[in-house]
Amino acid sequence: MINYYNEIEHLIKRKEVNKRARALRDNTETIQTYWEIGKLIVEAQGGKSRAKYGNELIKKWSLTLTKLYGKGYNTSNLKRYRQFFLIFPKGAPLEHQLSWTHYKTVLAIKDENERNYYLNLCISNNLSKNKLIAQIKSKAYERLLDPPSKIELLTNNDNTPYNLKEHLKNPIIIKLSKEDKILKESDLQLKILSELQDFFFELGEGFTFVGSEYKIKYGSKYYYIDLLLFNFNLNAFVVVELKTRELKKEDKAQIEFYMHLIDTTLKKSFHYPTIGLIVSKYQNRYIVSFVSSSSIIPITYKLVHN
């Protein structure tokens, strides 16, 4: 007997899979076409050194192409295609995860490291164009605490070791609404929990949430960790302690104790040692202190109202 529902579901599934495959092919073809158009424009204008002086040729061609194929080939877009080729002269690597809108958004960024940083954010986190623009507006690259000297575009075969310090920002930004008031540690905790994705972006990449007020038993006592995270790039747990006062000497000892608890109760043999982050207050700012191998790196925390 025919199961009509299963037959219908099979047809829909096949349609959706084919639709996604076509969208991927269309995106790849679009990017490749725009790159090749840019290449031909540069060649027609006499090469890379003379390309920026050939705008009259672009204006002439855009008039005809716009009449034939629409505003996608107007003067501004033809200049973008030329810039696209000039920035990526080897067509490399035109990642399938990235759309033309991603590339178009970063074309105005002159610094190669900065440009690659934002494109890598899109590749690693599947950022939309609007999310990408938000990261650029927040000056995420400029706030990197310890940026690498050379940032290459990510590829599927990228095996570069992840360095948390190269992804930490200074200052880290927490966005507040007009109604938000941070008076005690639980207020700060709730605000971070309500905006976890933004918080993770500020810390770097690879973070995932394990729990809040995470309960650990040690001996006959229970201890509560404000936030427990895991970073799969580092293969390590991350203990986060929140303070609404200035950092004290005993805070480092406290979080190192919590790190020890996680290492002895939760960490597996294939995990790396636990990392600690302390969020504390300094004057009108919050500080994130990074604790690893008995070292603390202070990072300013900035509260910004929307």
Confidence of residue 5 (pLDDT cuts 50, 70, 90): low
**For residue 134, which phi and psi values (nearest 5 degrees)?**
-65, -40
Q: Any residues with CB less than 8 A from the CB of 52 and at least 6 apart, and which? A: none
- 117 and 231 belong to one structural domain: no
- Of the chain, the percentage scoring pLDDT greater than 70 comes to 82
Contact 126, 132 (CB under 8 A): no
Confidence of residue 124 (pLDDT cuts 50, 70, 90): confident
- 117 and 20 belong to one structural domain: yes
pLDDT of residue 202: 84
Q: Which of 28-32, 219-223, 248-252 has the highest mean pLDDT?
A: 219-223
- 132 and 169 belong to one structural domain: no
pLDDT value at 289 more than 50: yes
- Of the chain, the percentage scoring pLDDT greater than 90 comes to 27
Q: Taking all residues of the chain, what is their mean pLDDT, rounded to a whole number? A: 82
Nearest Cα to 64, choosing from 53, 75, 54? 75
Could you tell me the strand order of the sheet in which 295-305 lies?
172-176, 295-305, 285-292, 275-282, 236-242, 221-231, 207-218
Query: Is residue 220 exposed (0-12), middle (13-18) or buried (19+ Cβ within 10 Å)?
Result: exposed
CA Rg value for the chain: 25
pLDDT value at 301 more than 80: no
User: Is there a domain that residue 69 lies in?
Assistant: yes
- 279 and 183 belong to one structural domain: yes
Which CATH number does the domain housing residue 272 bear?
Answer: 3.40.1350.10
Confidence of residue 4 (pLDDT cuts 50, 70, 90): very low
> How many CB atoms are closer than 10 A to CB 261?
19
Confidence of residue 50 (pLDDT cuts 50, 70, 90): low
> In which region does residue 2 sit, left (phi positive, over 0), alpha (psi from -120 to 50) or beta (all else)?
beta
- 247 and 128 belong to one structural domain: no
Count how many domains the chain has. Answer: 2
Distance of CA 126 to the CA centre of its chain: 8
Element (DSSP H or E) covering residue 209:
strand 207-218
User: Is there a domain that residue 155 lies in?
Assistant: no
Residue 125: CA atoms inside 13 Å, Cβ hemisphere, count?
23
Tokens 């040690």, residue located: 218
- 184 and 298 belong to one structural domain: yes
> What is the arithmetic mean of pLDDT over 230-246?
87
User: Is there a domain that residue 144 lies in?
Assistant: no
Contact 143, 109 (CB under 8 A): no
> How many CB atoms are closer than 10 A to CB 24?
12
Name residue 291's amino acid: V
pLDDT of residue 51: 57
pLDDT one-digit tens code per residue, 104-118: 999 999 999 999 999
Give the domain range for residue 45: 4-137
pLDDT of residue 60: 87
Distances (CA, A) of 207 to 71, 119, 210, 276, 292: 42, 19, 10, 13, 16
pLDDT value at 19 more than 60: yes
pLDDT of residue 28: 81
> What is the arithmetic mean of pLDDT over 289-298?
57
pLDDT value at 73 more than 60: yes
- 62 and 131 belong to one structural domain: yes
More reliable by pLDDT, 297 or 283: 283
User: Is there a domain that residue 150 lies in?
Assistant: no
- 39 and 87 belong to one structural domain: yes
Distance CA 77, CA 112 (A): 21
> What is the arithmetic mean of pLDDT over 210-224?
91
65-79, 123-137, 149-163: least confident range: 149-163
User: Is there a domain that residue 143 lies in?
Assistant: no
Q: Where do runs of H (alpha helix) occur along 183-225?
A: 185-194, 196-203
Q: Any residues with CB less than 8 A from the CB of 140 and at least 6 apart, and which? A: 117, 118, 121, 169, 201
Query: Is residue 245 exposed (0-12), middle (13-18) or buried (19+ Cβ within 10 Å)?
Result: exposed
User: Is there a domain that residue 215 lies in?
Assistant: yes
Confidence of residue 214 (pLDDT cuts 50, 70, 90): very high
pLDDT value at 66 more than 90: no
> What is the arithmetic mean of pLDDT over 291-300?
56
User: Is there a domain that residue 153 lies in?
Assistant: no
- 179 and 254 belong to one structural domain: yes
- 181 and 245 belong to one structural domain: yes
- 193 and 129 belong to one structural domain: no
36-40, 55-59, 279-283: least confident range: 279-283
- 132 and 195 belong to one structural domain: no
Supply the pTM of this predicted model: 0.76
User: Is there a domain that residue 27 lies in?
Assistant: yes
Element (DSSP H or E) covering residue 274:
none
